[in-house]
Structure 1
Amino acid sequence: MAIKERKEREKQEMRNLIIESATHLFLKQGYDKTSIRNIAEDIEYSPATIYLYFKDKDEIFYVIHENAFAILDQELRKHDVVADPFERLAAIGRTYIQFAFENPDYYDLMFIMRAPMQQIKNEEKWEALDCAFGYLLQTLTACFEEKKIRQADLHVTAIMVWSYVHGLVSLYVRERMCILMMPDDAVREVLYGSFDLFLANLKA
């Protein structure tokens, strides 16, 4: 049993090493310019070793995607304790923005970087993003039921909220907010304030 457990641990350690290297290379040089050979050279193993753990580069990218979205979903669901759904909506929106502030490279990889989506499309469902988006839908449904925001189509409203915060943080992550010519902490407050104003306009 000890030998089996050791082999399983070593296998997981190798997977983690590959994922760590791939993440670094994707963020440093982009998806298209990163190859299995690049990853193998970075961890000082042969490309054949990589293929023992992943069938191709798309699958590696998919695992990284899932891990990152799982972290985001975990952060959003910390607001389950907020009873008022409108306050919870505000809290998850601000947490989404904060996640981008604290993890700009991961946010770029998750939402901005161009990369093949075929691996994700091959899955029955995009589980990690489905959880995070589902939490937004759940919160908005409660807002409608309690008449906290103006009645509208649920999915249209969800996409509108998501698109708004995504637009804010994408400008920030790609350093377009330099147009404001403000210190970074002031820029962040502008983004939070903009989101708060947006939510105020949704109120019933």
Structure 2
Amino acid sequence: MGVSERKEREKIEMKELIKAAALKLFLEDGVAKTSIRNIADEIEYSPGTIYLYYKDKDELLYEVQSNAFGKLLEVFRENATHNDPVERLLEISRTYITFGLNNPELYDLMFIIRAPTNVDEEIHKANGGNCLDFLTDCLAACAEDGRLVVPNVQVATLQVWATAHGLVSLNLRCRLKVMDASEEEIPNILMATMESYIRSVTK
């Protein structure tokens, strides 16, 4: 391995180390209470080292979120594989809800906190875009088969996402305690609610 290749590998390894430490602290202490200095202390480097790779905490948070959306896309690809687009849409919904319930702190980091604004949009594309495209492509397939009741795929995408997100968020914020259901029953209720909604907008 040449010098340039080794330096590039070391750069990648350092960025991964920084992102792993940032994710840990973001989840444990919250984004607002986590500073570049905290992250530097976690990996036992100076804050200046982190600034060699990231201009500020916003840019670092954006990349941490990007990694999280990559994990969500992976589970979509693993679990939403049915040839029938409506059944695949149900698989996407179940996968999304399961991901949110199993990873509450990560879900909060991805979808609940305010997105970082101090980033270069030309360099940092919209986080979660690939995940949204996965859902949109499925809905487009439903439309092509004449199975989608909602006439606009873009509107349908927002409706499905908003419904799934709303269900997960209500549960994560403990707003479903008003329901006469045990904690063990809640996931099945969310799944059933989402399935009922999807059946109502598809044929």
The alignment's TM-score, normalised by the length of structure 1, stands at 0.89
Compare 163-172 and 33-42 and name the one that shifted more.
33-42
One-letter code aligned to 2:13: E
Aligned to 2:57: 57
Please tell me whether the aligned partners of residues 30 and 113 of structure 1 are also in contact (alpha carbons under 8 angstroms): no
Aligned to 1:74: 74
Q: Distance in 2 between matches of 1:97 and 1:145?
A: 26
One-letter code aligned to 1:118: N
Distance 1:46 1:165, change over 3 A: same
One-letter code aligned to 2:31: Y
The answer to whether residue 12 in structure 2 is matched with residue 12 in structure 1 is yes
Q: How does 1:44-193 map to 2 (within 5 A)?
A: 44-79=44-79, 81-119=81-119, 121-123=121-123, 125-126=125-126, 129-180=128-179, 182-193=181-192
Please tell me whether the aligned partners of residues 80 and 92 of structure 2 are also in contact (alpha carbons under 8 angstroms): no
Number of aligned residue pairs: 203
Please tell me whether the aligned partners of residues 149 and 202 of structure 1 are also in contact (alpha carbons under 8 angstroms): yes
Unaligned ranges ≥5, structure 1: none
One-letter code aligned to 2:82: V
Please tell me whether the aligned partners of residues 85 and 143 of structure 1 are also in contact (alpha carbons under 8 angstroms): yes
Q: CA deviation at 1:176?
A: 2.4
SS in 2 for 1:121: coil
Unaligned ranges ≥5, structure 2: none
One-letter code aligned to 1:44: E
Distance 1:115 1:158, change over 3 A: closer
Please tell me whether the aligned partners of residues 59 and 118 of structure 2 are also in contact (alpha carbons under 8 angstroms): no
SS in 1 for 2:185: helix
Distance 1:173 1:147, change over 3 A: same
SS in 2 for 1:71: helix
Aligned to 1:201: 200
Q: Distance in 2 between matches of 1:32 and 1:121?
A: 22
1:131-175 superposed Cα distances (whole Å, 9 cap, x missing partner): 111111111111112121214111111101000000000112223
1:164-197 superposed Cα distances (whole Å, 9 cap, x missing partner): 0000001122232233364332111111111011
Identity percentage over the alignment? 42
The alignment's TM-score, normalised by the length of structure 2, stands at 0.89
Q: CA deviation at 1:47?
A: 0.7
Distance 1:203 1:120, change over 3 A: farther
Please tell me whether the aligned partners of residues 31 and 114 of structure 1 are also in contact (alpha carbons under 8 angstroms): no
One-letter code aligned to 1:51: Y
SS in 2 for 1:197: helix
Q: CA deviation at 1:88?
A: 0.6
Q: Distance in 2 between matches of 1:122 and 1:8?
A: 23
